[in-house]
Structure 1
């Protein structure tokens, strides 16, 4: 409580400084029609994440990447990993992505209930494939982000920005299919209404059949979403986002790490990427509903008020299985089947924020004072005792349907994460600016097995120099509070939440716009955070400190009229720094590659108007399978090829497209973490036709 009073008193004192707005143009309510980038743009002109909302990427003193709608369309991206593989340091973790994408950035897990955000605010629950059809772009703010988002790991914030009605009507209809029988239809309709076009609506509808070429896998998915806005006056505007999506498929079985012998693990040969050790009846049935309401009010020419309220709820029934290999030579082992139904996860998020401009002598300030409350609850659902059946890794057999008795009762947990925050962007001179932020956090976590609380103050500081309007150099220091995680189902303390912890991040970087709109970024970072491990009693526990140091490079935009590029690379040195644990000291955290890189380019042929060809190369280096580094999965590179042709048929803009992912049909271990390894997806040919009315 004293920390809150201190932060509030500081901010109220600051408000009484004289205003500088007499020297600036009047501020108007931000337009509500976010229509996206110009055709062919691989570079975003702004970000919508955290305290950096509406800032140009050059003015963000932290590594940020934006995957625009044009990139998503050029790659026919269908999932989060498809989008985020364009940003350095992104890997799959634990799961292969058949049901949803479990992702790590820079070797740090992106927490599924706190790090994924809708329109910069609502924490959505990434336990079901998040659809991209109704999204304008995907943003990644790398590193610690506690100032605005409270308790979140320093892997980064993944922000999804919804498509909204623009100045021109939109009526797009698309059909997508692949060679395995998967198909979907998509309608995207946007309109503005009223004498002054003050009402806007953008509706997206998707219905699809899921087939990926993996045996015993199949199902359906659907999406219904609406993005509505109303400009009531020059000073008052409202936005409402509603989306509901569902996915029901047969979940691919996970592969458990073999037991270690003499401190080493011998991994099996990579099985065929089309096989599935589970059977079709082992369903993953999940649905999610996300609702976000926002009000913007311009108090006067200097100050504005933002109010937001949102709710995200995900429900699922899950028949999950893991294979435990008893014999590397024969591939014989046991498929352990887990059963849970009625699992539910819910996030409520509320934010009130006042933003304004003022002056203290020669310094100009852009100040934000806010309060954020996030409540997260979960129910484990009723479950059954796991059942083991014989299975073979290389020659799987069909598993007869199992009908267990659901005798294990549901347990619940609840988290209350609240905080006051103050952010000040200070214009020192034409070339120099600084940012300072402070958050006073109050955290409460309650479950059947533990109760934790934490009250802390975390700072955020940065200094930026702009030698010219198209170049910036910055240094920043951020402290972040994070949940240490919840013990997974396969641990002796399953469901237990570990005590919260503090992460510290330093970063030095440079950004520049060159040529005709290419954004170049380079950054060195050092993140130190508590690490987790599994102890001798199979308990998920804190394991001291881990340090992640590296250099990250990125480029995105247009090189001339005909070539668009998005590229990234990461050189990472990560190690565990707990001298009291010799089994892990000095070793690389699990599932953390030293090198990742991506390059995607699209070339528009002048000789054939409307035709564009594309290619992408995505590389992930080798990764240790556990914190003890007892084995590693090899690095891999996948190749994507594509072509799209835009024309007019009966006067209607029409596009035909083909994309070939994993073009060489490479077999590889794609994921590690939490005691599992998984196989990458087979070669997939996507065909798409889109027409606009």
Structure 2
């Protein structure tokens, strides 16, 4: 197999440039993976928590069809300070997307993961620095604090993960300060990498996606030693070529999971992930704050090469390593301790088109620089069950500490006016990043916390939950010369949560919950503002939620009513100010059912938002929050062709206000996707073929990214994948 690759940029991206076959051969040499047809003596393994693989599996293009358990409400969900418990027993709205579903839908960016969840709005672009932007219930996730890998913190900004290496993706909606500490109240997203299976498992898959990108992925795992004492899981990915919305892409990733059952009571684990991901010629972002009037330019294509050439790039490196010990004191009590180290680095040369009018004229502002982040995190927890008289308790307590170090480029001129142009004409502006860039220590952020929660089972049906986190927070900011510019600290921050739960049946839960959150105030980074450099006060949020969850054989369903009150922060004249509240009230419904050969999934959210109690924008809708979102998927398993499944899904996202002033709106839009998969056995091997056509109608629209920023829609693209499992 060979591929025609785009011309490399004048300044090559860091890291290797492996051709697909060369990369695959190197992976095989490293792992000893058999690329020929030699049979293996082992049988296919059962992945953790998924059950034994059958000779013929049926997959498809939607979440519901990919997993016969629908929303997987009985599946364990990581809840930080609450410990691990099933979605069904968690008194907050949650979503789990399985790794099998990610593969079926050939997910390539963050927004695609939750394409069938109406409470999530896509603001992401896989190949630009905006790739970690996501809105949940109208609230943007915090790219510094809302993202986890295996429950451990890292900075999400600029990082698109290797989705083929994930076991599942978990989303906790709403404030999460009790579970994880300071963060915006949109929610917390946790990526779970693949874990060691109980039996030997191995697979290799080859993929293609338009415009012209080829990828290879190897997944191998098993156990060794007496009674399977040692477990391992290794994943390797290489992709190279030209995706549909960038001039070029080269990514190499490896993840490793290890487990040692040292004794019957003591288990040691290690998880690591390393990725170099380099994109160039990516689609820029479009800023609208300079537009006079209420009219936006017409839609444009988001296809590769329309607005950017190989001079623009985003080079990233992500590393996260974690290790832990878990000791079972007895069947009811365990203690655990974990440590993680995370490091992110990115080299950016990216354009922002600052639109001037509805005719599409713009000023081309270019950013170039290096940015880096480092996390050290440690926690210790005790979890147990006990009784006091007639009441049963589920208790969790622990301590945690983390230090985040941020580095940014030295010097001036990192933002500069490169030229002008019109979005309906080819861009002729070119700038290659000069060498010699260096960074300085811009800030460090320390959090130290203690937490405890108790779920008291009053009867077999009724239970109450109460929890509290106590946090000390401090942030030091530094000048480029290394001297301290400002110090901000907040000690004794209390983040409580409480919930009442009722189980009418063992497979249904009704709940009412309350949770508070605290997030650091905005640090004013715009030098044109009069309070430039100021760290604003922390912002407190409060959420009230009532909901229901049930799993009834061939159908599942969830429903939630919620109200969130959050302190508002936005530009007022020449100042960045905190003024009044952002209020979010809504209802979300989600359900799945299987009817004969059909799988049907539906999701809806109705949301009402407003700015309240402020001197400015009072009564306006909150920027970026849609009033209505509807998503659904239908899959059909063809009875006359065993293993063949076809499916279609769609998502309607309602209009949003582009900025707090509410004078410009982005219209609603609907995106359709179609897919098919065929799974069978050949020569004793499981073979799975997948095809997905995204943005089926090649819909064009302006998508919201952030207040005053938008992007064109990703163009229609096809993804093909062939997988063989040993």
TM-score, structure 1 as length reference: 0.90
* SS in structure 2 of the partner of residue 71 of structure 1: helix
Query: What's the CA shift string for 1:97-130, capped at 9, x where partnerless?
Result: 6452311111211111211112233445342112
* SS in structure 1 of the partner of residue 111 of structure 2: helix
Aligned pairs for 1:366-515 (under 5 A) are 366-382=394-410, 384-385=412-413, 386-402=416-432, 410-448=440-478, 449-455=485-491, 456-487=493-524, 492=529, 497-515=535-553
When structure 1 is superposed on structure 2, of 63-72 and 184-193 the one drifting more is 63-72
Does the 8 Å contact 1:277/1:391 carry over to 2? no
Offset at residue 265 of structure 1 (A): 2.6
CA distance in 2, matches of 1:37, 1:78: 26
Aligned pairs for 1:572-583 (under 5 A) are 572-581=607-616
Does the 8 Å contact 1:279/1:398 carry over to 2? no
Does the 8 Å contact 2:83/2:396 carry over to 1? no
Aligned pairs for 1:235-384 (under 5 A) are 235-250=265-280, 251-257=282-288, 259-261=290-292, 264-274=293-303, 276-329=306-359, 331-341=360-370, 343-382=371-410, 384=412
- RMSD value over aligned CA atoms? 2.3
CA distance in 2, matches of 1:471, 1:440: 32
Does the 8 Å contact 1:340/1:384 carry over to 2? no
Offset at residue 188 of structure 1 (A): 0.6
CA distance in 2, matches of 1:56, 1:559: 22
**5+ unaligned residues in a row in structure 2: which ranges?**
1-45, 58-65, 479-484
Q: Taking structure 1 as reference, are residues 34 and 663 closer, same or farther at Cα in structure 2, changes over 3 Å only? A: same
Offset at residue 602 of structure 1 (A): 2.6
Query: What's the CA shift string for 1:286-318, capped at 9, x where partnerless?
Result: 110011112110122332101011111100111
**2:48 alignment partner in structure 1:** 34
Are 1:118 and 2:149 an aligned pair? yes
Aligned pairs for 1:137-176 (under 5 A) are 137-176=168-207
**2:216 alignment partner in structure 1:** 185
Q: Taking structure 1 as reference, are residues 230 and 93 closer, same or farther at Cα in structure 2, changes over 3 Å only? A: same
CA distance in 1, matches of 2:549, 2:103: 26
Offset at residue 527 of structure 1 (A): 0.7
1:657 to 690, 700, 710: 690
Does the 8 Å contact 2:71/2:95 carry over to 1? no
Offset at residue 148 of structure 1 (A): 2.0
* SS in structure 2 of the partner of residue 252 of structure 1: coil
Does the 8 Å contact 1:61/1:464 carry over to 2? yes
Q: Taking structure 1 as reference, are residues 434 and 48 closer, same or farther at Cα in structure 2, changes over 3 Å only? A: same
Query: What's the CA shift string for 1:633-661, capped at 9, x where partnerless?
Result: 11111000001111222221111111000
1:646 to 667, 671, 679: 679
**2:669 alignment partner in structure 1:** 636
Offset at residue 324 of structure 1 (A): 2.0
* SS in structure 1 of the partner of residue 350 of structure 2: strand
**2:122 alignment partner in structure 1:** 92
Offset at residue 690 of structure 1 (A): 0.6
**1:24 alignment partner in structure 2:** none
Are 1:567 and 2:602 an aligned pair? yes
**1:20 alignment partner in structure 2:** none
Q: Taking structure 1 as reference, are residues 691 and 353 closer, same or farther at Cα in structure 2, changes over 3 Å only? A: same
When structure 1 is superposed on structure 2, of 584-593 and 53-62 the one drifting more is 53-62
1:204 to 235, 239, 242: 235
Aligned pairs for 1:649-688 (under 5 A) are 649-688=682-721
**1:546 alignment partner in structure 2:** 582
CA distance in 2, matches of 1:108, 1:383: 34
**1:622 alignment partner in structure 2:** 655
Query: What's the CA shift string for 1:244-280, capped at 9, x where partnerless?
Result: 012111232211105354xx43211111232542321
Offset at residue 326 of structure 1 (A): 3.4
Does the 8 Å contact 2:581/2:614 carry over to 1? no
Q: Taking structure 1 as reference, are residues 109 and 230 closer, same or farther at Cα in structure 2, changes over 3 Å only? A: same
CA distance in 1, matches of 2:436, 2:535: 24
CA distance in 2, matches of 1:629, 1:447: 34
* SS in structure 2 of the partner of residue 81 of structure 1: helix
Does the 8 Å contact 2:111/2:123 carry over to 1? no
Offset at residue 482 of structure 1 (A): 1.4
Offset at residue 165 of structure 1 (A): 1.8
CA distance in 2, matches of 1:252, 1:310: 34
CA distance in 1, matches of 2:619, 2:643: 54
Q: Taking structure 1 as reference, are residues 400 and 147 closer, same or farther at Cα in structure 2, changes over 3 Å only? A: closer
Q: Between Structure 1 and Structure 2, how many residues are aligned?
A: 652
Offset at residue 540 of structure 1 (A): 3.8
Offset at residue 632 of structure 1 (A): 0.6
CA distance in 2, matches of 1:580, 1:617: 40
Offset at residue 327 of structure 1 (A): 4.4
Does the 8 Å contact 1:221/1:247 carry over to 2? yes
Q: Taking structure 1 as reference, are residues 400 and 56 closer, same or farther at Cα in structure 2, changes over 3 Å only? A: closer
Q: Taking structure 1 as reference, are residues 657 and 491 closer, same or farther at Cα in structure 2, changes over 3 Å only? A: farther
When structure 1 is superposed on structure 2, of 500-509 and 399-408 the one drifting more is 399-408
When structure 1 is superposed on structure 2, of 616-625 and 74-83 the one drifting more is 74-83
**5+ unaligned residues in a row in structure 1: which ranges?**
1-31
Does the 8 Å contact 1:94/1:677 carry over to 2? no
**1:597 alignment partner in structure 2:** 630
1:102 to 115, 121, 133: 133
When structure 1 is superposed on structure 2, of 643-652 and 220-229 the one drifting more is 643-652
* SS in structure 2 of the partner of residue 82 of structure 1: helix
Does the 8 Å contact 1:125/1:313 carry over to 2? no
TM-score, structure 2 as length reference: 0.86
Q: Taking structure 1 as reference, are residues 609 and 402 closer, same or farther at Cα in structure 2, changes over 3 Å only? A: closer
